Amino acid sequence: MRIDKFLNATNITKRRAVAQDMLQSGVVYLNGNVAKQSKEVKVGDSIEIKFLDGKVNKYRVLEVPRFKTTPKAEQSRYIEIS
């Protein structure tokens, strides 16, 4: 699954357009490298989102969803890394 679709399907971002904007601005990293929209996400990958205020959110992919469902169900697809 493409990373922009993954961010939206797992409710990390509320809209896919927001995920695409974040990817275009270069604040999303996949396995330590700046991610492009077309990058594929696999189980075990790490995703980092760096914000302007210095905050960094880190996630580990546990499962790649086939489609978007309820937010509570989608949170089991990844874990936050501190």
Q: Low-confidence residues of the chain, pLDDT below 50?
A: none
> In this predicted structure, what is the pLDDT of residue 73?
63
Q: Which domains does the chain have, with CATH numbers?
A: 3-81 (3.10.290.10)
Non-local CB neighbours of 49 within 8 Å, separated by 6+ positions: 12, 22, 27, 28, 29, 56, 57, 59
Beta bridge partners of 49: 28, 57
pTM of the model: 0.84
> In this predicted structure, what is the pLDDT of residue 34?
96
> In this predicted structure, what is the pLDDT of residue 24?
96
